[in-house]
Structures are given as structure tokens and as C-alpha cells.
Structure 1
Amino acid sequence: MADERVAALKEPIDVAEYLFKRLHEVGVRSVHGVPGDYNLVALDYLPDCGLKWVGSVNELNAAYAADGYARVSKFAALITTFGVGELSAINGVAGSFSEHIPVVHIVGCPSTISQRDGMLLHHTLGNGDFNVFANMSAQISCEVAKLNNPAEIANQIDHALKTCWLRSQPIYIMLPTDMVQSKIEGARLATPIDMSEPENDPEAEDFVVAEVLKNLKEAKHPVILVDACAIRHRVVEEVHQLVDKTNLPVFVTPMGKGAVDENHPNFGGVYAGSGSHPAQAKEIIESSDLLLTIGALKSDFNTAGFSYRTSQLNSIDFHSTHCIVRYSTYPGVSMRGVLRKVIDQVDPSTLSAQPSPVVENEVEENLDDSPTITQAWFWPRVGEFMIPKDVIITETGTANFGIWDTRFPEGVTALSQVLWGSIGWSVGAAQGAALAAKDAGNGRRTILFVGDGSFQLTAQELSTMIRHKLNPIIFLICNDGFTIERFIHGMEAEYNDIHTWKNKDLVKVFGGEDTCKTFTIKTKDELNELLADEDFQAAQTLQFVELYMPKEDAPRALVMTAEASARNNAKLE
């Protein structure tokens, strides 16, 4: 029967080749992961499909790197082996699920025969259950595809990839060893996967559009607030068209940073409740009688400890799967179609548009007489160092909160993990982001800001950056431990301390002594001199900067959010 099936194929192709050519089709050029005996034969197919094997130092870092790669290139692939490998990656994949990042997780697994017979194999729990790990990953995947039947595999792959794109979340593909070289129909590759979004029901969409237009016309102080899912679900172009057409003031949340050109005259800064910058942003948003939110994710850290003071009665929320007009929810009406019709139909002359506050990098305002580098001075200062189209990665903690006070140049892509908040994520993500920029060949600089505590969790990924000749600028903030945890609880607690490393020496340890540059910066003058250096600005090689700041200094937004988090943790009911 199998021979008859293969004979009926127009263009027989191996499953692994089909899968990897589809990955290349959707934009993947480098594949992250760690080799294991259940995926080795599949890995042999990568070069002939136009894909480069990255090879991270462990699966967790590989998952973080795939996450960063997808945020820059829009799609990523991760390959691990059954059980031990995939479980090491699961935290990173869960972060991608939480934050709406399209990552394809391919797991090489025992053959279908071994699974059928319940064989006692290595990397299993020894109980004959070969679905247990897939069941775990089902909770953090928008699609699970077990490639067990050659007659179904091509459909499964195409459907899973489309789902990954439309949902902007990870998918899990289980690839048995005996399916890797099984033949399926290759003629399908001549037709690209249809990634187009389903159209909204016209009647429902038109009703929502009419409601939006009516509320806009009646409002005296309407404003726009852009959040993470505007980026994740690819409506940034519509956002800018809406701002240009309506001339309304526009703000971003911390997770939405980078979604709006921060040099646009209508850009008013970061709104995060009590953590807003500039301070006028909070006043304008919370006094508005109509707030248009686009892609909102109102998590605790994204709202500076749930410190929003806005009313749903005055809000219209646009989401990827529904829209909410005041207290009425319209399921199945996605934001893209609604936004496009609003842009086409709105009459700017009928709108009341107030001016936006001026947003600047407030370097002089935060300058003191001390040579010490303070958080308040540092973040506006590095804002002046950034150039258009930089890729900026900030670790959850000090850097993530400090960047709120940095005004970006045009075209900056900002990566942060505000919702999932896994310590150490940024180092792997920076590797993936830098690789995505290199694969695109666009010369974009990649700049990472990470604390010394976070760095210790994933420092090995520095080795992968050196191996692939990536050129990130790494600012390692040395302030003696886990600053964000100190401000939540235990300023002097031993559990928030770390052992002091000679961090920049790791560049030498990992083989970058002859190709990379390292710096130790302890004063404002030293930092100013470094940032003004043309070779440093050019970022032609990996540059590692040990940057020293006081232990008990933190960005103002971190202090406020940490206090709110401590209060939430202490609540009894």
C-alpha cells in the first residue's frame, strides 16, 4: 500500500525537505536548537533547503533566541529532541506563547513503530507514554501536529504554519524518526501557503466602524494608546495611517514601545499609569473622554502595577479576535478590517484633536555633579546614542523599566519580555535578534541592556554570538545582583545577591579575544567618551561593556511598579 501511495505522487519529496522548504518560504533563514539522536537525520536536510543551523549551547537559550529572531524577522524555528530537549526549551516557548510570538517548535521523536509498541527507550518516562510531552506543550501551543501519517503530513504542516502566523503564537510539530524520509507530495510547494487573514463579517464590521466613527465625532478629547498586540498582529502600518489621518495624540505602553515612530509630532510618550513618561501623558490619557486602545495587554508590569485610571465607559478596544466599544463586545470582528475602514471613512475636520506633550531625552535634566552613572541619567543618555532602525533588547528588570524614559529614533525595533518576564531571556533573544538582522542583510545594529544577575542565567549564549560572528553591543549593568527583586522584597537579603564575575573576561573564555572588544565603564565621562567613539558607534564586531551603577539605584518606574507588586503579593483576598 505504501508503494502504491508513493507511486501516485506527482513530485515525491521527503517530509523533512518539505517542512524545511515551507519554513524558508515563510522567511526563516536560520534554525535554532540543539542536536539529539531523534532529530539528527532531519538536521541533514537544512543546508539543501536554504537554512542555516545555529546550534545554541542549550535548549532554553535556543528557545529564547528563536523568540528574539521571530520578533525581528516575523517567524522563527526551533528544533529539539524528544523529552529532555523539549522540556529544557519549554520555558522559552511558553514565553513566546504568552507574548504572542510565532515560533515553530519541531521535536524529533522516536519512530511511530517504537511509539506503537510502547518501547522502553531513553529520553522517555519509562511508562510507554509517548504523548506526555506533546500534551504538556499543547498548553503553550496554538496547534499541535503529530506527523504520523504520510497521507496527512503535508496538510498538517501547511495548516500549522498558517495557524502559527494568524495566531502569532508557537506551534508544536512532532516529527518521528521514520517519517523524516517518508515521501509526500512535493508539487504542493509550487503554491505558497495562503497566510491571509479571514475577512470580518461585513455587517458586523460595518456596525463596529459606525460606532467608532460616532464616538470619535462626539468626543472632545480623544486619544490613541498602542500596545504590544498591535506589533504582534501586524497593524503598525494601520496605526500610523490612523494617526496621520486623525491627527490625534498617540501614546504607547511599555510593551508597545517601538510600535509608533517616536519622532512623530503626535507622539506623546509612554503611558503606564503612575509610571508614565512624560508626566503629562498620564494626565492626558486619564482625562480623555475617548480612549482608543490598539492591541492592549494590561498586565501588572505593563501598567506599573495596575495603576491605570481609565474607564471602560470611555474606551474602544481593538484586538486581533474582537473589538470592544465601551461595554459592548463584538467577537470575531478583528481590528485590521475595522481600522482600515475607520481610516478610509473618518472625517478629520469633525474631530477635536489636542496637542501631544513634547518627548525628549532628558539628559541635562537628570545630570548631577557626581561622576557616578545613575539610572535617571543613563537611559536618556543612551537614547541620544541610538540611531534609526536599531534593534534594542532590554532584560526584564532594571533595563526594561529604564527604557521607558528613552525616546527612540525612527524605525527602532524594541524587544522586551514584560508579560512573561523570564530572567535571562534577553541574552538569548539578543543572539536571535542579531542573527535575524544579519540574515536580512540590512546592517541594523543590535543593542542589549542586561543586568549582571540576569546575565548569569544565560551567559553561555555569548559563545553562540561569537561563533556566528554577530556584532551586538552589550551593555552589562553591574549593580551587584537582582535589583528588581530587591525593590520588591529583600533589599539586603542574601537571596538577591550574586557572586561577582569578571564578566568581560567571558569574551576571551568563549573564544572572542581576537575579534571582539571589551570595555569597563564606571563614570559619566567614560561613558560619554565611549558613546562618542566612531568605531564603537559603527558596531563592526561584538562589543561588551561592563557598566557600573550603584546597587540601590533603580529607574523610577521600577521603584513604583515593584512597590505595587509587593502590595499585590501581600494581599490576602
Structure 2
Amino acid sequence: MNATESSDATITGHLLDRLHSLGVTHLFGVAGDYNLRMLDEVLAHPGVQWVGTAGELGAAYAADGYARVRGFAALVTTHGVGELSAINGVAGSYAEHVPLLHIAVGPPRSKERDGAVAHHTLGDGDYEHFARAFRQVVCADAVVRPEDGPDEIDRVITTCLRESRPGYLRLPQDVALANAPSPSGALHRPDRHAADQYSLTAFVDAATRRIEAADTVSVLADCLVDRFDGRAALSDLLSAGSLPHAVVVSGKGVVDESAPHYVGLYAGACSDGAVRSAIDDADLLIRAGVRLADTTSGGFTHGYDPDRGISVDPTTASVDGVVFPNVGLPAALAALARLVEGRPTSAASTTTAPHLRHRSSSGDNPLSQAYLWQAVGAAVRPDHTVIADQGTPLFGISPRRLPTGARFLAQPVWGSIGYSLPALLGAQLADHSRRGLLLVGDGAAQLTIQELGTLGRLRLTPVIVLVNNDGYTVERALHSPEAAYNDIAPWRWPDLPAALGVPEPLVLTARTEAELDHSLTTAAEVTDRLIFIEARTERDDTPLLLSRFAEIAKRQARKVQ
């Protein structure tokens, strides 16, 4: 039994103990009248700290950032109005394979039985409307009752861990405080390294023949390697065979980008030539946890055949389209590492990603997107957690090589702008040894800027680089650059940190190359305060990767008209 568990624990107590056993020490959410008494138990719990956010969407995004660092997270909302505010964030976690638990506390069972018209409901006596909505964006859900509450909680959490996706609990107010039956034992955790031995042997035989017949072997990696505990096995594979390798943007950070055979970011036809050649022209491409998405493949302009080569997925592996079931991702990667060990290094594998050095500023030159991302990329340190929002920040920073040890978070598949600032909150609380480096555009920041106050209240000291380019630059690059729907209100950004309650923020504005270099140098030196850098660029200036992507997207749009 966990040190915090008690044989006479309540349902809430059991839930908190289970979360704590998974390393969850912070619980995100917004207080509401239905969950207040439950939150009293949260405040009394010795191992879990309550983190109230400015809004439920921010809580969901914060939980997502926390889970990407800690491995699991949870948020609490009130029924109806609260949970629906959070559903966008939970859906993003589902799309991006991030395991977390959403707990929605609602009216007591007596009102359910009576079909009462309770507040925060649709007024029709049906208390299941929102649970049904959540079933579209979670891998498991339950309505918790006292008689089987602990078992149902454990079932949902275990499914979240196994599938690396969110779960949902609908918890009536009175059930949250009811006594729970004694827990049935330790929480079962999935064994990612398990594999059906017959299937694994067949996969190894097929992979051996494929590898022996290939003159060149390359590896492409994505985020599922991280979500399904395959980082170490992937690192062993890359080292064993000295294999040229790349990542798609959703997988940025899953490999050491300072390694000698890292060739860079792969984005289909948007890729640099050397990267595209290494991936598309390889005799054998090993795909580690890769999901093809329009935003990660240059609008599906990848040049390799997805039905050829070796593909390693969370629970299956395949060779030239032949699927071998019940082979976990780490087990498959470990087997491949043994097969490529000692393989002669080909000429192609000597290609590496160029170190894009940051040139010195030219005084009062206006700040450009190109210079901005060169400078920011050079400022990333091994102890940084970089969080990039969808838009020019993600397109600008993703081609830059990260130093060994730096962590990277983004949401390129779901792509909900505004995700990054609350995710920074979660990532910072999940690992206090790292400093957050947030890269966000002005349009995205206007959606969730209120959580800046939460960062300040908790005395967190990240570096925030806000790109002020007067609106939705990505949308302008894609379609109708002068359209009014891409305009936003011009905010006085330097005034916001103090207005939102950040204590003694250091606010800097960079309009020139020299001002940006000074701001980044100052941010590295001052670590005891939140740093807010407003980086001003022209509204139509775009990073090179975005320019390439926009051209492809516009050509494809014309074809379907």
C-alpha cells in the first residue's frame, strides 16, 4: 500500500493516491461549486498540490505539458460549463497521444435520480450529455459509483497508460466524498518491452533479410517513440548502426540533434535537399513511431513509399507491408539495433545536418524572421524546455538543431493556437530543474495570455519570446494576406506581465538585430525573474520553412477548387 493510502479512504483519496503513485504531484483545474468539497481533500493531501488556473482550457493545456514531461497528469473541472471549456485541450492530448485524466465533478446522485434541472446542465434532466461528448476524445471513461469506484478509476487510468491517451471520469459530488472499498493492489502498468515471441522472431527474420539486401539504411523518428518509452532503444539503434536519421516536427527532441549522423528535420518537399535525399532515397527506411500528417510531411509530399521499408509502431511492426502483431515499439527497436550492429558505414551516412551558426548582428538592421530564429536557436541551452506555438514560432525554430539535453514541446498535429503558454506552466511545474523557453506569436498569445498570471502567482521564471507581427501571419501566408479576418487587436504587450500580476517581470522589446541579441543575453544572465521579450517583425515576413509549406498548400488548394 502507498504511504499515503488508507484503508478508509474516500473515492477522492483513492484517486489522489493513484495519481501520486504515478508521479503526479500537481493537479490543475478551476474551482466550481460542485467540486469545492473534493478540492478540500486535494488541499489536505500530502503529496498533491492544487494549481488553479485562469480557465479550464488553460488547465487542460497545462496538464498536457505536464504529462509530456512527467508521463501522466490530471485536471479537475466542474460539470458542463467547466468540462466543455476543457474539451479542446483534452482532444489535443488525444490527437498527440498524451496520457492524462480529466475529472469532471457534477451534481449529486439525488438530483440525477430526480432528473432535476440543475445549474450547469442543459436543463433536460440528462446528466450524460457531456460524458457522451468526451467519449469521442478519450480512450476510456467511467461514471464513478461508491461500490466499484476504485476499480473503475484504476481501469480508466490503466487504459490511459497503455494507450498513451486521455481518460475521463464523471464524478457525482456526493460520490467524491464517499468511502472507498480498499484498493485491490498496486496499479498495473503496461510493459512496453513485452512482445509475442513468435511474432517477434518472424519480424526479426523478415527485417534481417531486408537489412542485408539494402546498401543504405536511414531512420525517420516521430513522437510515438517518446510516448511509448522507446527513446533509449532508438538511441541504441542509431548508435549501433551509425545510421543517418531525421525527425518530423512532431518528433523533434526524441533524438540527440548534436549526434554526428543526425541529418535534420524532414518535412517532405519542404525539407532541405540533403535531408530529403537521406530519407526518400534510402534503400531501406526504418520508420520509428511515424504518423504521416499534412503538417509534418509538407502536405503529404513525402517521397518514400509508406508500404515499403520497416515500420515500428506502438504495438506492431511491419516489413514491406507485412504486419507482425503484438510487438512493442521498444522491443522492435532493440531487435533492430542488434541487426545493424557493426554494419559498415556507407557514404550516405556521413551526411550530417549543418550547424546553422548565428551570425553577429549588424547594428540597427530591422529584426527579420530569419535572424530571429537564428538568434533564438543559438540561445537554447541544454537545460531549456522549448515550447513552440503553432505558427511562425514552430516553423521558425523547428529546423534549428537543439543542444544535447534540451527538451522540445509542440502540438503540430492538433495545432490549437494558444496551447503553448499554459503548456509552459505544466512543463515548468513538472521539472523545476529546467527553465522554460516559450516561443509564441501575438495571435496565439491572445487566446491564453491570462495564464501568464498563473505563472507569476507561482513565481515561475521562464523566458517568453512573443513574436509581434501584427496578426495571423501563417494564415496570411496561406491565403489572402490583406483579408480583415487575419487582423487582430494591437495590444500593448510590454504592459501585460505586470497587469496580470507577474511580480517584477523583466520586459524587453526588440525591433532590431542588436536589440534581440541584447535581450537574449540578458535573459540568460537574469534567472530569478520572468523574462518577457517582445520581438517585432514585419507582418508579411515568414520563416523559410513556412514559405515552402505555404507554396505547396496554395498549389494543392488550387487543384481542389
- TM-score when scaled to structure 1? 0.93
Give the residue type in structure 1 aligned to 2:458: H
Give yes or no for the alignment of 1:63 onto 2:35: no
Match of residue 517 from structure 2: 528
Specify whether residues 252 and 527 from structure 1 end up closer, same or farther in structure 2 by C-alpha distance, changes over 3 A only.
same
Q: CA deviation at 1:30?
A: 1.0
Give yes or no for the alignment of 1:254 onto 2:254: no
Give yes or no for the alignment of 1:164 onto 2:152: no
Alignment counterpart, residue 36 of structure 2, candidates 37, 40, 48: 40
Alignment counterpart, residue 463 of structure 2, candidates 468, 473, 476: 473
Q: CA deviation at 1:349?
A: 3.5
Give the residue type in structure 2 aligned to 1:156: E
Q: CA deviation at 1:312?
A: 3.2
Q: Give, in whole Å, the separation in 1 of the partners of 2:558 and 2:31.
A: 44
Identity of aligned residues (%): 36
Match of residue 371 from structure 1: 365
SS of residue matched to 2:236? helix
Asked if structure 1 preserves the Cα contact closer than 8 Å seen for 2:452 and 2:497, the reply is yes
Match of residue 69 from structure 2: 72
Give the residue type in structure 2 aligned to 1:334: G
Match of residue 427 from structure 2: 433
Asked if structure 2 preserves the Cα contact closer than 8 Å seen for 1:249 and 1:354, the reply is yes
Q: Give, in whole Å, the separation in 2 of the partners of 1:412 and 1:167.
A: 26
Stretches of 4+ aligned residues off by more than 6 angstroms? 365-370
Give yes or no for the alignment of 1:337 onto 2:309: no
Structure 1 unaligned runs (5+)? 1-8
SS of residue matched to 2:553? helix
What is the count of residue pairs matched by the alignment? Answer: 556
Match of residue 154 from structure 1: 150
Give yes or no for the alignment of 1:416 onto 2:404: no
Q: Give, in whole Å, the separation in 1 of the partners of 2:469 and 2:76.
A: 36
Specify whether residues 267 and 437 from structure 1 end up closer, same or farther in structure 2 by C-alpha distance, changes over 3 A only.
same
SS of residue matched to 1:329? strand
Give yes or no for the alignment of 1:283 onto 2:277: yes
Equivalent residues in 2 for 1:142-291 (5 A)? Answer: 142-148=139-145, 150-188=146-184, 191-197=186-192, 199-277=194-272, 279-291=273-285
Per mean C-alpha deviation after superposition, the further-off stretch among 542-551 and 344-353 is: 344-353
Alignment counterpart, residue 519 of structure 1, candidates 508, 512, 516: 508
Give yes or no for the alignment of 1:388 onto 2:375: no
CA RMSD after TM alignment: 2.1
Q: Give, in whole Å, the separation in 2 of the partners of 1:106 and 1:59.
A: 12
Equivalent residues in 2 for 1:2-21 (5 A)? Answer: 11-21=7-17
Match of residue 320 from structure 1: 314
Q: Give, in whole Å, the separation in 2 of the partners of 1:332 and 1:562.
A: 40
Q: Give, in whole Å, the separation in 2 of the partners of 1:160 and 1:114.
A: 25
Q: Give, in whole Å, the separation in 1 of the partners of 2:55 and 2:299.
A: 33
Alignment counterpart, residue 401 of structure 1, candidates 355, 380, 395: 395
Match of residue 29 from structure 1: 25
Asked if structure 1 preserves the Cα contact closer than 8 Å seen for 2:64 and 2:98, the reply is yes
Q: Give, in whole Å, the separation in 2 of the partners of 1:176 and 1:565.
A: 47
Asked if structure 1 preserves the Cα contact closer than 8 Å seen for 2:158 and 2:187, the reply is no
Alignment counterpart, residue 303 of structure 1, candidates 288, 297, 303: 297
Give the residue type in structure 2 aligned to 1:196: D
Asked if structure 2 preserves the Cα contact closer than 8 Å seen for 1:69 and 1:435, the reply is yes
Alignment counterpart, residue 486 of structure 1, candidates 461, 476, 499: 476
Q: Give, in whole Å, the separation in 2 of the partners of 1:174 and 1:353.
A: 58
Structure 2 unaligned runs (5+)? none
Deviation readout 1:385-433 (Å, 9 max, x if unpaired): 1111310011101011111221100111111110001111111111211
- TM-score when scaled to structure 2? 0.95
Q: CA deviation at 1:169?
A: 0.6
Q: Give, in whole Å, the separation in 2 of the partners of 1:568 and 1:44.
A: 54
SS of residue matched to 1:185? coil
Give yes or no for the alignment of 1:107 onto 2:104: yes
Asked if structure 1 preserves the Cα contact closer than 8 Å seen for 2:362 and 2:513, the reply is no
Deviation readout 1:40-73 (Å, 9 max, x if unpaired): 1111111333111111111111111111111122
Per mean C-alpha deviation after superposition, the further-off stretch among 17-26 and 203-212 is: 203-212
Specify whether residues 313 and 140 from structure 1 end up closer, same or farther in structure 2 by C-alpha distance, changes over 3 A only.
closer
Q: Give, in whole Å, the separation in 1 of the partners of 2:155 and 2:21.
A: 14
Q: Give, in whole Å, the separation in 2 of the partners of 1:321 and 1:187.
A: 29
Match of residue 6 from structure 1: none
Give the residue type in structure 2 aligned to 1:482: Y
Alignment counterpart, residue 509 of structure 1, candidates 496, 499, 519: 499
Give yes or no for the alignment of 1:452 onto 2:442: yes
Match of residue 534 from structure 2: 546
Q: Give, in whole Å, the separation in 2 of the partners of 1:101 and 1:194.
A: 16
SS of residue matched to 1:255? helix
Asked if structure 2 preserves the Cα contact closer than 8 Å seen for 1:247 and 1:353, the reply is no
